[in-house]
Amino acid sequence: MKKEEIIIQTEDVKVRVIELHPKEEGPFHFHTEIIDNMFGISGEITVSMRKPIEKVILKPGVHCKIEQGRSHKVMNNLNNESSKYLLVQGVGQYDFITEND
Task: Report residue 37's pLDDT band, with 50, 70 and 90 as the boundaries.
Answer: very high
Structural domains in the chain, CATH included, are 3-98 (2.60.120.10)
Residue 74, burial from CB neighbour count under 10 angstroms (0-12, 13-18, 19+): buried
Residue 86 has pLDDT above 80, yes or no: yes
Q: What is the mean pLDDT of the chain?
A: 94
The answer to whether 72 and 50 are in contact (CB under 8 A) is yes
pLDDT at 66: 98
Mean pLDDT value of segment 67-72: 96
Task: Report residue 2's pLDDT band, with 50, 70 and 90 as the boundaries.
Answer: confident
